[in-house]
Amino acid sequence: MAIPFSSLLLAFYFLSLTSAKISTLVGINYGQLGNNLPPPPDSVDLIKSLNAQIVKIYDVNPQILKSLNNSDIKVSVMVPNDLIINISSNQNLADHWVRTNILPFYPQIKIRYLLVGNEIISSTGNQTWISLVPAMRRIKRSLKIYGIHKVKVGSSSAMDILQSSFPPSNGTFRADISDRVMKPMLQFLNRTKSFFFLDVYPFFPWASDPVNIKLDYALFESKNITYSDPGSGLTYTNLFDQMVDSVIFAMKRLGYPDIRVFISETGWPNGGDYDQIGANIHNAAVYNRNIVKRVTAKPPVGTPARPGWVLPTIIFSLYNENQKPGLGTERHFGLLYPNRSAVYEMDLSGKTPEADFKPLPAAETNEPFKGKIWCMVSRGANKSEVAGALAWACLQGNKTCEPIQKGGPCYEPDSLIRHASFAFSSYWAQFRKVGGTCYFNGLATQTIKDPSYGKCMFPSVTLQG
């Protein structure tokens, strides 16, 4: 039967309205790994000031959810990784979790997304992997039991789910998870019309190969740098699109070409350690402003593999979180400092012209640091924890602590902080190339001021650039 042209126009009009509404869905990840963060009511006010349309939290924190009461902000909540195995085999437990954590806040709080776990392939073992989709099914069933129909269930994945990501058309899921985890997950997402939630950080592949990957290409700033995928014939103008499309092609390879992608995390660090390149306020502002501008464009831009598709996106993160483990960049992704001030100006609606923002500081870390770096005990570190970390470092071998033994050149003065600083520097200098870090659960920090004295020479890491 022929469809009247007027009906087609009407359908297109409503489709355009819907697409425009979805395309402006940009939000903020509200992490809580800090001991100096503002309380939830203040944080929600700050989230509103950033014009966020969605907030993602990594739990079901009742104080945060209560602070979002009767707000227009959509909310994504999370089942913690350590509950996945138990929920996967126990419908009563799934029902109890939903009844306790979702029902008291729904529908007055616009909970729209429920993620089962966070990057579980990166951070958990095989048993959790195979329990993921069964847990997602049970949570979805629980929502249905309690009459909750507007919540999409999914699970966020990092890029390490891929075995091959280059060129994008060669995107392939890892062999150890492809059939056991990814295929059942895609089947679930397809059946429930949910999203594939993906965490995409161009900073990391760029920082690992800044010679061959140009910074402007990673920051959406390239004017004449393109990459043509020989497999698909598609042309890329930025690294973000390449990363997203590699996952889209991997899904297509398993028979699911049309599942929508939701960028559950993306961002760029505003600071980091001395041995980390490109982590600065300038680059962070440029990247985040550009990604917001891109995903709020009307009509939607999409990616080369999916032109015109909307791409809901959540920026990481609200605050610099001082208790996040790992390299220094991990604690420097915030749009705000814990004292509530802006690291740089940001409008998540994408409506503020670039000219209206204050000038950014120069990007001072775009070239590798050249010189020596030491690892020292952080100011104010807990002394009993420092003593434990000192003992651990000394047990790692290679005569790490020989100079601070009695009679050694670094024994005097007999100070816990001096001895631990020597041990931290010695450990880091020896083991950095095999993954050792200057962190020690937040007890250590890098310095470029030589702590050596007299005959006591502290080992250092030397960067040649």
The CATH number of residue 303's host domain is 3.20.20.80
The CATH number of residue 382's host domain is 1.20.58.1040
Give the CA diameter of the chain.
Answer: 96
120 lies in the same domain as 238: yes
pLDDT at position 127, please?
Answer: 87
* pTM confidence score: 0.88
Helix and strand element counts for the chain (H, E) = 15, 17
Catalytic positions, please? 119, 265
pLDDT at position 199, please?
Answer: 98
- Whether 2 maps to a domain, the answer reads no
Lowest mean pLDDT of 168-182, 233-247, 359-373, name the range. 359-373
295 lies in the same domain as 323: yes
158 lies in the same domain as 20: yes
350 lies in the same domain as 402: no
User: What's the total number of domains in the chain?
Assistant: 2
Give residue 448's domain range: 371-463
Q: Is residue 12's pLDDT more than 70?
A: no
16 against 166, higher pLDDT: 166
- Whether 23 maps to a domain, the answer reads yes
Categorize the per-residue pLDDT at 377 as very low, low, confident or very high, splitting at 50, 70 and 90.
very high
User: Bridge partners of 57?
Assistant: 30
Categorize the per-residue pLDDT at 4 as very low, low, confident or very high, splitting at 50, 70 and 90.
very low
Categorize the per-residue pLDDT at 10 as very low, low, confident or very high, splitting at 50, 70 and 90.
very low
What are 20-54's pLDDT values in tens digits?
Answer: 344 468 999 999 999 999 999 999 999 999 999 99
277 lies in the same domain as 311: yes
How far is the C-alpha of 37 from the C-alpha of 28, rounded, in Å? Answer: 15
Categorize the per-residue pLDDT at 327 as very low, low, confident or very high, splitting at 50, 70 and 90.
confident
For residue 348 the two structure tokens come to 């998540």
382 lies in the same domain as 341: no
- Whether 363 maps to a domain, the answer reads no
Pick the closest to residue 364 from 239, 271, 438 (CA basis).
Answer: 271
pLDDT at position 24, please?
Answer: 67
Omega cis (within 30) before 107: yes
242 lies in the same domain as 339: yes
Inter-residue contact 453 to 359 (CB < 8 Å): no
Pairing type for strands 152-157 and 111-118 reads parallel
% of residues, the chain, pLDDT over 70: 94
Inter-residue contact 365 to 278 (CB < 8 Å): yes
User: Bridge partners of 113?
Assistant: 76, 152
The end-to-end CA distance of the chain, in Å, is 68
pLDDT at position 54, please?
Answer: 97
% of residues, the chain, pLDDT over 90: 79
- Helix (H) or strand (E) run with residue 270 in it: none
Q: Which residue has tokens 């049309």?
A: 258
66 against 327, higher pLDDT: 66
Q: Is residue 18's pLDDT more than 60?
A: no
- Whether 160 maps to a domain, the answer reads yes
- Whether 361 maps to a domain, the answer reads no
Among residues 328, 356, 384, the one where a domain terminates is: 356
Q: Is residue 9's pLDDT more than 70?
A: no
403 lies in the same domain as 336: no
Inter-residue contact 263 to 306 (CB < 8 Å): no
Give the residue-averaged pLDDT of 179-207.
96
pLDDT at position 464, please?
Answer: 63
Give the residue-averaged pLDDT of 304-319.
96
Give the residue-averaged pLDDT of 183-201.
97
Pick the closest to residue 119 from 200, 32, 28 (CA basis).
Answer: 200
pLDDT at position 398, please?
Answer: 73
348 lies in the same domain as 377: no
Angle at 283 between CA 464 and CA 74, to 5 degrees: 135
